[in-house]
């Protein structure tokens, strides 16, 4: 699964990087372009904070958190045996690396760089980028996998072990009422 995690991460990070470089090369900061009328627009902004430019003066915190997410994923990647978890972790890793790259390499400087955002969707109050799309999509996937009780090994956890335990007990031992099938 290591290959799937890394492959997904590279695709996410690469797509994010390429689109940001395209925006920097073809648009002026603050410029808006209609793509699908008002439904979808490109709107180039530099974001010093988190979503909705929240905590703009605390860029270093988001850089540190992004680095921690990368370290966490890298330490967990060998445990993954599920393609769904591999894609979720890969998308999260690639998206996090995309925004972390901005924090480390963009103006105003190392560790406090502003993230390039450019996607504006009608009715949605934030402007975002492909890294954000990968992060949010991956986190939705993680939540679904957890809600479905699917482990990193791809096995769905149910109450089956409790029932199986009753079957495995020695027949000469009295069964606890909770252990009866």
pLDDT digits (tens, 9 = 90+) for 130-169: 999 999 999 999 999 999 999 999 999 986 555 555 555 5
Return d(Cα 75, Cα 155) in angstroms, integer. Answer: 20
Q: What is the mean pLDDT of residues 64-89?
A: 93
- Backbone torsions φ then ψ of 161, nearest 5 degrees: -60, -35
Q: What is the pLDDT of residues 95-113, one digit of tens each?
A: 999 999 999 999 999 888 9
Peptide bond into 108 cis (omega under 30): yes
pLDDT digits (tens, 9 = 90+) for 17-67: 999 999 999 999 999 999 999 999 999 999 987 665 565 566 778 788 889
Kindly list the distances between the CA atom of residue 3 and the CA atoms of 10, 111, 155, in Å, as whole numbers in the listed order.
10, 29, 20
Q: Is 179 a catalytic residue?
A: no
What kind and span of H or E run contains 47?
strand 40-47
Q: Is 132 a known active-site residue? A: yes
H-run or E-run covering 118: strand 115-121
Residue in 16, 132, 153, 176 annotated catalytic:
132
Query: Is the separation of the CB atoms in 77 and 2 below 8 Å?
Result: yes
- Per the listing, tokens 């860029």 go with 59
Q: Is the pTM of this model over 0.85?
A: no
Q: Identify the pLDDT of residue 83.
A: 97
Of the residues 102, 117, 168, 176, which is catalytic? 117
16 neighbors 95 (Cβ within 8 angstroms): yes
pLDDT (tens digit, 9 = 90+) per residue, 114-131?
Answer: 999 999 999 999 999 999
């Amino acid at each position: 699964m290591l290959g799937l995690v890394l492959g997904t991460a590279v695709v996410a990070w690469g797509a994010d990087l390429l689109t940001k470089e395209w925006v920097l090369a073809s648009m002026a900061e603050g410029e808006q372009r209609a793509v699908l009328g008002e439904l979808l627009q490109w709107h180039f902004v530099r974001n010093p904070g988190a979503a909705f430019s929240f905590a703009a003066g605390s860029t270093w915190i988001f850089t540190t958190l992004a680095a921690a997410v990368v370290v966490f994923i890298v330490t967990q990647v060998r445990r993954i045996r599920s393609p769904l978890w591999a894609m979720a972790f890969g998308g999260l890793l690639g998206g996090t690396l995309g925004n972390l790259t901005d924090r480390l390499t963009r103006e105003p400087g190392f560790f406090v760089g502003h993230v390039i955002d450019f996607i504006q969707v009608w009715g949605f109050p934030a402007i975002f980028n492909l890294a954000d799309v990968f992060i949010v999509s991956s986190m939705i996937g993680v939540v679904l996998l957890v809600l479905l009780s699917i482990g990193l090994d791809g096995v769905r956890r149910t109450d089956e072990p409790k029932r199986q335990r009753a079957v495995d007990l020695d027949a000469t031992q009295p069964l606890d009422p909770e252990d009866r099938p």
